[in-house]
Amino acid sequence: MLIFKITKKVEDLILYRKISLDVVWWSYSGKKIPNSAIKEEDGLKYVIRSRAGYTDKIYIKILKQNDHYSIIDNYEAKELIELGYDEEKVSSLKSILLYDEILLETSS
């Protein structure tokens, strides 16, 4: 049994005898990628991005994950510096963008 306390727009709700609603258990904003694309090195997760024929290793942080997909985002520079990377290396790292192609790990 779930009990909800509603404090806003109650007058709009009481006009209806029956109300359907969806309960969202969690909500994150980021890029959705398959878990098979995520690799790990030295405790950091990364993906391989393909753009214009070049491949780059892009470090990512996982915001939320289920059995098949992960919601990811890029690290901020200060987060990588706190993890032990020097400023020169951090400034040369690439970010993942919308519509980037991510290489999947396939089992042969």
Write down the domain spans for the chain.
28-102
pTM score, two decimals?
A: 0.69
CA distance 48 to 103: 6
Identify whether the C-beta of residue 40 lies closer than 8 Å to the C-beta of residue 46: yes
Q: What is the pLDDT along the chain (108 residues), one digit of tens a residue?
A: 888 888 888 888 888 888 888 887 778 889 999 999 999 988 889 999 998 888 999 999 999 999 999 999 999 989 888 888 888 888 888 888 888 899 887 654
| Alpha carbons 5 and 66: distance in angstroms, whole number | 29
CATH 2.40.420 is held by the domain 28-102: yes
Predicted pLDDT at 38:
95
Q: According to the model, what pLDDT value does residue 64 have?
A: 93
pLDDT of residue 83: 84
pLDDT of residue 107: 57
What CA–CA distance (Å, rounded) separates 81 from 89?
9
